[in-house]
Structure 1
Amino acid sequence: MSDFRQKCLGGERLIGTFAAVPHPVTVEVTAAAGVDFLCIDAEHSQIGRELIENLIRASDVHRVPAIVRVPGHAPESIAGVLDAGAAGVLVPRVSTAAQAKAAVMATRYPPLGERGVGPGRAAGYGYRIPDYLKRANDEILLAVQIETAEGLAKVEEIVAVEGVDVIFIGPGDLSVSINALGPEGAKKLEAAILTIAKAARAAGKAVGIFRPSPDDVGKWRDAEITFYLIASDTMFLGAGVASAVSAARSA
């Protein structure tokens, strides 16, 4: 494990991307490219629990922390990826304080939570359980994703939940949920993002956001957003191929 969580809590700017390709080679190549962390996407990509452990291993080759966006709120999904050695979890669609508290309970060992002890990869397959138990609560990152109108309305309650480290903003689903689509909804969406960021920072939480490209990362400095997930491996692959083909055709 690493000091990844402490870097997040300390306000260090961290740049990562989503891993959506279900193959370790892609994870290893992306990790070697210089990202600060990876987020394996088990919510929107075809990545099952049985593959996640190998993807985490591939990221570990280059000592790049890998967190996992779990498919939902189920405690067993959270426990499974943490037992596989994930540096943390991103829990989607957190719209209430109760859901945020449940994520804390699933992520932390007693007395801070209710996570069960298992002989998984993170604990050396049972051979290093005492050592892992000493460190896990301090080193595992918990990020919760606010991406609904209800989550926006209840943001003050969500950010007040002890044990949540990062409030992560999902602009795509949020724009749909609050009816802020397209250019005409841009100001409404930006206001919602700033509302979430302000509440999170006031509560002492780190703030994260998804951006489809790095073009406007600098725009969010004043909002004290420090945790960025830029595009995904599939998006970078498509953009890279498109750019190369276009350049070749115009040569």
Structure 2
Amino acid sequence: MDKRANFRERLLGGERLIGTYIKTPSPIVTEVLGLTDLDCLCLDAEHAPFDRITIDGCVAMARAAAMPALVRVPHAAPEHILNALDCGATGVIAPHICTVEQAEAFARACRYGEGGRGYAGSSRAAGYTTRAMADNLARAATQTTVIAQIEDPVAVDNVDGIAAVDGIDALFVGRVDLTVAYDASSQDDPCVVAAVEKICAAGLRHNRRVGMFLARPGDVPFWAERGASLFLLGSDHGFMLDGAARLVAQCR
């Protein structure tokens, strides 16, 4: 079995996982990055022009490559969550989870059961009717990854309650949004660093994994020591820009 087969199991086990964002709504880009040794890809449907059909195509390509595919949805509305998971996404990152009530609603929308995710045996996630419902329910329960993004000062204030919510697998630090919200001069401002440390500490207290985007890969050890284990670094846009810059530098 491919080592990436159960991403949630690896995440909950505290393994250091490295992924990247996909900003281009293209199955081809996903296919190419699926050939790498990354641990996961995250389709950024919050800040890039992904609709359901492009999410569907990108997730299909990721699954073909045995590459876990998370979807950062535009917001934690049940229809966005259902769309991503029915397409076969490994899990969902929901932005701007600020309260315990929002975290509870998000976790419920990701799980089958009363008031939660609607069931369809005809979806890709369910094997297009080729698997029994009991098998599909068991797979979803063990593999669907639920990640709450903490990126607002009020969310930092409420982070212990959010981390304690049953069904939340991980907290994800939205450091850029925190920087803006705190009116800080940079992501290294002491108030931002203190907020990120508070999120990490809450994750440790409540046995929730912590993930984050980092602009500098060299910062990974610092935050790993503070309990973070999921790191989304760069993006397909960044790879193209960096590659073009290196090519020009080498040739001039």
Normalising by the residue count of structure 2, what TM-score does the alignment of the two structures yield? 0.94
Match of 1:166 among 166, 170, 173: 170
Answer with 59-68 or 88-97: which moved more: 59-68
Tell me: CA distance 1:89–1:129, structure 2 relative to 1, closer, same or farther (3 Å): farther
Given that residues 2 and 139 in structure 1 are in contact (C-alpha distance below 8 angstroms), is that contact kept between their aligned partners in structure 2?
no
- Describe the superposition over 1:187-208 as per-residue Cα deviations: whole angstroms up to 9, x where unpaired: 2211110011001111000000
Structure with the larger helix share = 1
Q: Supply the distance in 1 between the matched residues of 2:164 and 2:145 (Cα, whole angstroms).
A: 16
The residue matched to 1:226 in structure 2 has which SS?
A: strand
Q: Residue 48 of structure 1 corresponds to which residue in structure 2?
A: 51
Q: Supply the distance in 2 between the matched residues of 1:129 and 1:99 (Cα, whole angstroms).
A: 32
- Describe the superposition over 1:3-31 as per-residue Cα deviations: whole angstroms up to 9, x where unpaired: 21011001000000011111111111112
Q: How far does residue 129 in structure 1 lie from its aligned partner after superposition?
A: 4.7
Q: How far does residue 64 in structure 1 lie from its aligned partner after superposition?
A: 0.7
Q: Residue 70 of structure 1 corresponds to which residue in structure 2?
A: 73
Q: Supply the distance in 1 between the matched residues of 2:86 and 2:37 (Cα, whole angstroms).
A: 26
Any gaps of 5 or more consecutive residues in structure 1? Answer: none
Q: Supply the distance in 1 between the matched residues of 2:192 and 2:169 (Cα, whole angstroms).
A: 23
Q: How far does residue 215 in structure 1 lie from its aligned partner after superposition?
A: 2.4
Q: Supply the distance in 2 between the matched residues of 1:143 and 1:129 (Cα, whole angstroms).
A: 27
Is 1:246 matched up with 2:228?
no
Q: Supply the distance in 2 between the matched residues of 1:225 and 1:120 (Cα, whole angstroms).
A: 33
Instruction: Indicate the percent of aligned positions where both proteins have the same amino acid.
Output: 38
Normalising by the residue count of structure 1, what TM-score does the alignment of the two structures yield? 0.94
Match of 2:86 among 83, 97, 100: 83
Aligned length: 247
- Describe the superposition over 1:106-153 as per-residue Cα deviations: whole angstroms up to 9, x where unpaired: 000116x61110121111223325121122011100001000011011
Any gaps of 5 or more consecutive residues in structure 2? Answer: none
Given that residues 15 and 229 in structure 1 are in contact (C-alpha distance below 8 angstroms), is that contact kept between their aligned partners in structure 2?
yes
Q: Supply the distance in 1 between the matched residues of 2:185 and 2:159 (Cα, whole angstroms).
A: 21
Q: Supply the distance in 1 between the matched residues of 2:208 and 2:48 (Cα, whole angstroms).
A: 28
Q: Residue 114 of structure 1 corresponds to which residue in structure 2?
A: 116
Q: Supply the distance in 2 between the matched residues of 1:94 and 1:73 (Cα, whole angstroms).
A: 8
Q: Supply the distance in 2 between the matched residues of 1:170 and 1:157 (Cα, whole angstroms).
A: 18
Is 1:3 matched up with 2:9?
no
Given that residues 203 and 227 in structure 2 are in contact (C-alpha distance below 8 angstroms), is that contact kept between their aligned partners in structure 1?
no
Amino acid in structure 1 at the alignment position of 2:42:
C
- Describe the superposition over 1:217-238 as per-residue Cα deviations: whole angstroms up to 9, x where unpaired: 1221211110010011111111
Tell me: CA distance 1:242–1:129, structure 2 relative to 1, closer, same or farther (3 Å): farther
Match of 1:58 among 33, 38, 61: 61
Match of 2:27 among 24, 27, 31: 24
Answer with 1-10 or 140-149: which moved more: 1-10
Given that residues 23 and 48 in structure 2 are in contact (C-alpha distance below 8 angstroms), is that contact kept between their aligned partners in structure 1?
yes
Q: Supply the distance in 1 between the matched residues of 2:63 and 2:138 (Cα, whole angstroms).
A: 21
Q: How does 1:142-157 map to 2 (within 5 A)?
A: 142-157=146-161
Amino acid in structure 1 at the alignment position of 2:153:
A
Amino acid in structure 2 at the alignment position of 1:160:
A
Deviating 4+ runs (over 3 angstroms): none
